Amino acid sequence: MSTLFDFIEVSPVGEAREEFSKVMARFRTEGITATPVIFGSHRKPEAVTIPYELFQRVLPAIEEVFLAELVRSRLNDKRFTRDEAMERLGITEADLDKITEDDYQVSTEEI
Could you tell me if 38 and 64 lie in one domain?
no
Instruction: Report CA 74 to chain centroid distance, whole Å.
Output: 20
Question: Which band of pLDDT confidence, cut at 50, 70 and 90, is reported for residue 2?
Answer: low
Mean of per-residue pLDDT scores for the chain: 85
Give the Cα separation of 111 and 11 in Å (integer). 26
- Tally the domains of the chain: 2
Q: State which residues form the domain around 4.
A: 1-50
Could you tell me if 60 and 40 lie in one domain?
no
Cβ pair 23, 11 in contact under 8 A:
no
Give the Cα separation of 85 and 18 in Å (integer). 46
Assessment of whether the complete model's pTM goes beyond 0.75:
no
CATH of the domain at 17: 3.40.1620
Question: Which band of pLDDT confidence, cut at 50, 70 and 90, is reported for residue 8?
Answer: confident
Give the Cα separation of 104 and 87 in Å (integer). 22
64-85: per-residue pLDDT in tens?
Answer: 999 999 888 877 767 777 888 8
Instruction: Report CA 104 to chain centroid distance, whole Å.
Output: 14
